[in-house]
Structure 1
Amino acid sequence: MVPVPASFPTDYAFQLGIAIGGVLWLIGTYIAYRYMLDRPGPPFPKGENLTLVSVSVIWAQNQLGFTTTQVLILAAEVPFLALIGSYSWNQLQTYFKINSKRMVVIINCIYILIPLWGCLSFIPSSPIGYKSKIELFVAAGIHGLLLGAAQSSCRSLFAQLLPAGEESQFFSLYEITDKGSAWVGPLVIASIDDSGSNKAFAFVFLLAQFVVSLILYLCINLEKGIEEGKEFAAKERQLEYAMDVFESNSSA
């Protein structure tokens, strides 16, 4: 590692990282603006706007006939309730002394109910399974109440397993895998939508994701992971100390 000159500020590395990120963002924005082609075909009908592809939007517009205004209300409902949910779940976790792993498992179990309810639409005579607008508004509300708590609990659980002093490296990997895999869901959902098959298969895909996640969370040994993190950090410090001693002796 190249040492930082003593005349530089202590947070120089963070400043440099933010600057590099800003430059890359600027370059990426320019490339997108410079080479993005105009949308072919006729203009959008009056009152219609481009919307990000997601299960809820596709289902709302194609299956339930949501207007653009209703979709916007649906989208605004999620962050508003996420704020309430984050505070409420934190209070519940503190009051009942629930650890991060159990919080993640509880939230994941509740999340499973959302796509599971959608799978009920496979039953032809079923009057439920997101066959009415109110069902989708309720599901969006549940998602909003869980969203903030899910993100914070996952990060808290991840942080507890990290070796001390290695947080930046591991959270960088966390963000890469988090944002880097964000294209998979929309790609699969859009493929299901374009295939002409029953759009309820999108809920099957989501259900499978949550079930697999739940199994993986249940396999985490939190106590053992914390101890292994401490052992790894101790070995890293010993190695760094040995390297410092070796370099000092070599320079002498």
Structure 2
Amino acid sequence: MTAGTTDPDGLTVDPAERRREQRGWYFYDFACSVYSTSVLTVFLGPYLTSVAKAAADAEGFVHPLGIPVRAGSLFAYAVSVSIVVAVLVMPLVGAAADRTGRKKPLLAASAYVGAAATTGMFFLGGERYLLGAFLLIVANASLSVSMVLYNAYLPQIAEPDERDTVSSRGWAFGYTSGALVLVLNLVVYSGHESFGLSQGMAVRICLASAGLWWGAFTLVPLRRLRDRRIPREHGEGAVGSGWKQLVATLRDMRRHPLTLSFLLAYLIYNDGVQTVISQASVFGSEELGLDQTTLITAVLLVQVLAVAGALGMGRMARSYGAKRTILGSLAVWTGILLAGYFLPADAPVFFYCLAAAIGLVLGGSQALSRSLFSHLVPRGKEAEYFSAYEMSDRGLSWLGPLVFGLAYQLTGSYRDAIISLVIFFAVGFVLLARVPVRRAVAAAGNPVPDRI
């Protein structure tokens, strides 16, 4: 076969060309993960909250579009809005990609809009909380849209039996870049005085540098990945068909109610996971009084232990089954939130212990959930079911930040806000425990593993 030859499903046939595309594909994770780690998890939450508080009235409220919002809730609300925007845009972008077969220009557009918005966070000085919320919404929505396009390349660059390996390597590339940039951020932030920078300027440089990193390394996948047009049925890929395909797939899932039951459980507990990650830095800085250096170091600890935790939970799954291992991780997540509620202020050692616990269950709970779902997908429908998995995941993940923001809005306490998230893990645990996974695998027409 010649380089670039594809089979009818769009998979690159030539092994050398496929490996070249895979290496390029890894680098988008390397490019964009610094946004999730440095911006969303570490710096932006506390900084945007401080900007909003500077602009707040005597009662501690800001008034975007005339709506009274407690300054401490602004970041959580903006995250929720960004996800709603992403969910509205993703089906349209997906349909355009399917119709034209040109995912790469759409990936470039979403990536560079997000990178530009992130770089623009350099200008978040004074009381510009509205600019900060707007840039967060644009950057976060752009990342979500770009990840849908990025994930859609996987079936075209990897054989079925190599997709787990390729996907895992991309995940590892992302964690590596996140840790590397956090180390650089720690140097800039901790030594800001020696660099002649104010603390706020150091934070803004760290925010903007994540956007520059995102944009620079996106050039690698854009050079290596290539578009291919796959023949489609008449009318497929028209604008609006993204939503139609999602609805059709969910209707098909009604024929596999046990698969649908697992998906519902996952959507609920994963929303809790994502909210803990995005709001942990706000909780640490505002409620526990921890400085930015402590938060950066804690997230670095999470990055390192997430890899070890995923490998360890994978070994546990081989012994006890994926379902039991996930249920155990949900119990740990609940314990983490309870511990966070009682965590004393100005006690970084205890916060590090909490970060270590998060790292040990973070990667494994998500990786095992994806692998367990793969057993529940009817053969021949992998792509559309995983598309629904991704779309539905994004579609519900606004709820956790909204609950967190409302809890703080009503109580003025981040401890009450963090404990409110227990409901996601408790409900997810109960729903998952009720799914007979062995019967679900058999009902999907797949061989039942010895341990599941």
Question: Do they fold alike, i.e. is TM over 0.5?
Answer: yes
Q: Deviations over 1:137-162 (max 9, x none)?
A: 11111110111110111012111111
* Equivalent of 1:213 in 418, 428, 452: 428
1:117 aligns with 2:339: yes
* Letter of the 2:6 counterpart: P
Aligned length: 214
Preserved CA contact (<8 Å) 2:405 2:417: no
Preserved CA contact (<8 Å) 1:55 1:202: no
For residue 245 of structure 1, what is the aligned residue in structure 2? none
For residue 47 of structure 1, what is the aligned residue in structure 2? 199
Preserved CA contact (<8 Å) 1:47 1:68: no
For residue 242 of structure 1, what is the aligned residue in structure 2? none
For residue 384 of structure 2, what is the aligned residue in structure 1? 169
For residue 351 of structure 2, what is the aligned residue in structure 1? 136
Q: Please, what is the CA RMSD of the aligned residues?
A: 3.3
Q: Given the superposition, is the C-alpha separation of residues 224 and 189 from structure 1 closer, same or farther in structure 2, using an over 3 Å criterion? A: same
For residue 105 of structure 2, what is the aligned residue in structure 1? 23
Q: Deviations over 1:111-155 (max 9, x none)?
A: 110112234x4xxxxxxx343322221111111011111011101
- Alignment partners' CA distance in 1, 2:104 and 2:284: 36
* Equivalent of 1:154 in 345, 369, 374: 369
Q: Deviations over 1:31-70 (max 9, x none)?
A: 5648x89646368992232689833211211122222221
1:74 aligns with 2:71: no
For residue 250 of structure 1, what is the aligned residue in structure 2? none
- Alignment partners' CA distance in 1, 2:437 and 2:403: 32
Q: Given the superposition, is the C-alpha separation of residues 160 and 195 from structure 1 closer, same or farther in structure 2, using an over 3 Å criterion? A: same
Q: TM-score, normalised by structure 2?
A: 0.42
Q: Given the superposition, is the C-alpha separation of residues 26 and 180 from structure 1 closer, same or farther in structure 2, using an over 3 Å criterion? A: farther
Q: Given the superposition, is the C-alpha separation of residues 43 and 73 from structure 1 closer, same or farther in structure 2, using an over 3 Å criterion? A: farther
Identity fraction in percent: 21
Preserved CA contact (<8 Å) 1:100 1:157: yes
- Alignment partners' CA distance in 1, 2:351 and 2:427: 24
Note the C-alpha offset of 1:14: 5.5
Note the C-alpha offset of 1:188: 3.3
Q: Given the superposition, is the C-alpha separation of residues 192 and 173 from structure 1 closer, same or farther in structure 2, using an over 3 Å criterion? A: same
SS of residue in 2 equivalent to 1:82? helix
Q: Give ranges in structure 1 of 5+ residues lacking alignment.
A: 1-6, 122-128, 232-252
Q: Deviations over 1:50-104 (max 9, x none)?
A: 689833211211122222221111111111001111122222333xx21111111
Preserved CA contact (<8 Å) 1:82 1:146: yes
Note the C-alpha offset of 1:29: 4.5
* Letter of the 1:41 counterpart: G
* Letter of the 1:10 counterpart: D
Structure holding more helix per residue: 2
User: Rg bigger for which structure?
Assistant: 1
* Equivalent of 2:307 in 78, 83, 99: 83
Note the C-alpha offset of 1:217: 0.5
Preserved CA contact (<8 Å) 2:323 2:372: yes
SS of residue in 1 equivalent to 2:443? helix
* Equivalent of 1:10 in 7, 18, 25: 7
- Alignment partners' CA distance in 2, 1:82 and 1:114: 15
